Amino acid sequence: MLLVSMLKQGLHKQDLQKQGLQYLGFDIYENSINHIGIDGTVFMARENEKTIIIATNKSFGFHGYDKKDGVIRADLNHENACILRKLFPWTAPVRGLKNKKSFGLGDRLGFATPGHIDLFKKNDVFPFFAQQSMRELNLTKRTYEDVLDAVSFAVFREGYKIGFGADGDHLKTAEDIEYVLKLGFTMITLDCSDHIKNNKKDILLSQNYKDKYINQIFKIEDYTLTFSEEEIKECISIYDDALIFINDIYKRFFINDLYNADLELSIDETVSVTTPLHHFFVAKELSDLKISFATIAPRFCGEFQKGIDYIGDIEQFKKEIKIHAAIARFFGYKLSVHSGSDKFSIFPFIGNETKGNFHIKTAGTNWLEAVKIAAEEAPSLYREIHLFALKVFDEAKKYYHVTADLSKIPNISDMNDNELPLLFNNNDVRQLIHITYGKILCNINADGSFVFKDKLFKILAKNEEKYRNALVKHIGKHLELLEVYQ
Ligand code: ZN
């Protein structure tokens, strides 16, 4: 009972260890020590290489076991994550898109949040530590529960209490949206791509549309927008179905803040570039339908390929982001930039033209930083992953649009171990490793064990500090270029 009485006094790690807690086999995460009432303590610790929750009081409800020393040891599973979120509301996500600056951080491994915390606790950008699309979950065989729980445990362990969001990214069906909202996600990214038509058909323009758009001049800040009959027909034929879909989803889940979550509209994953006129049309129609939403993700001009810088005409992008940003301000929402990993050449324009009002999403770059740690710390493991990725690349390309040219990737058998990390400066390698993540993580041996996943996790656990620092530096570069430190 010695341990319980010490904990009940609210002592800190050093005192606890001095007084023999080490003897009980715990290595405590000091920032996780939290007290409930006058005699309850909950914290995280490592015991025999395993991270667990320790609670001094059975009545907190954690599912675990008691080694007859008066404390409950609870595994990091979904049941316990739910209890943690109830006991400590700051481990549950909150809404965040109303903040001027927000940033999404997809973490496909459930390992990156501590590094993200190190960075985001020091700035005024609201982070979405949980952000995952159905596609990513299918490819990694994870669930939305896994994604959210990993973040809740990480913020508890680190004592990060200032709020984070959770984004059910690129959802296409009411069923998925309902599921994710009931789990407590605070943002839904509605993927409208299945309802956006790319082949223009000749339609009859209704009187309503004629009156609304033809011979009208729309003043948006310094811009005047006008529609020809051809242009308005094009807008209607591309977006008409999507507007009906958005209206339906809005009424079911978002009207009157039914689920206390924000709505983002994604019209980006389609071949139709969202021109400023398209954007204005969609925004005006939604505003006339009285649909309110927090962010919109247009398909900007140029290419936003995964894990590499912007490809395209930067001058044109600069011109168009200015108008897109003005339209968003006019209607009262923010622009959202998807596939934002590593788009360094355009971040300054996004930051400036939106006047620091943006949502940016990244995911793959967090994964690339993790594999880079393997290249640095476990070269032979990296070599195996690399050769495997080359083998499965063509299949992985079904899910992602990339232009990587495998013939430009150096033969790694000619490279020394210390040269391997340099591969991550090569865009073709970045894309190779980026899009094959699902195959790499799910590759199993004949006995059902993972070929790479467990080894990769071990390397990351062993080099946790290094991974954290790499993320702080790399994601930090994104934020700096967005001029958030102005
Ligand atoms: Zn997207």
pLDDT tens digits, 275-333: 999 999 999 999 999 999 999 999 999 999 988 999 999 999 999 999 999 999 999 99
Does the pLDDT value for residue 263 go beyond 80? Answer: yes
Predicted confidence (pLDDT) at residue 7 exceeds the cutoff of 70:
no
Dihedral over Cα of 280, 178, 102, 144: its sign: negative
264 is catalytic: yes
Average of per-residue pLDDT across 359-370: 96
Ligand 1 center–CA 8 separation, angstroms: 48
Full set of structural domains in the chain with CATH = 2-75 (no CATH), 94-365+476-481 (3.20.20.70), 377-466 (no CATH)
| Angstrom distances, CA of residue 405 to CA of 382, 394, 437 | 20, 11, 18
What residue type is 320 in one-letter code?
A: E
Element containing residue 396 per DSSP (H, E): helix 379-396
pLDDT tens per residue, range 209-248 = 999 999 999 999 999 999 999 999 999 999 999 999 999 9
CA of 336 to the centre of ligand 1 (A): 9
191 noted as active-site residue: no
CA of 188 to the centre of ligand 1 (A): 12
What pTM did the predictor assign? 0.94
The token duo for 128 is: 């979405």
Report how far residue 88's alpha carbon sits from residue 92's, in angstroms, rounded to the nearest whole number.
8
Read off the tokens for 260. Answer: 């206390």
State residue 49 phi and psi, 5-degree precision. Answer: 70, 5
Q: How many CA atoms lie within 13 A of 124 on its CB side?
A: 12
Give dist(CA 25, CA 69) in Å, integer: 12
Q: Which residues pair with 326 in a beta bridge?
A: none
Of these residues, 191, 264, 269, 320, which one is catalytic?
264
Which residues face 251 on adjacent strands?
none
Q: Name the percent of the chain lying above pLDDT 90.
A: 84
Instruction: Give the residue among 72, 71, 92 at the shortest CA–CA distance from 154.
Output: 92
Residue 114 and residue 151: Cα distance in Å, rounded?
9
Q: Which of 118, 169, 191, 285 is catalytic?
A: 169
Q: Inform me whether the pLDDT recorded for 8 exceeds 60.
A: no
- Separation between Cα atoms, residue 11 and residue 7, nearest integer Å: 6
Tell me how long the chain is. 486
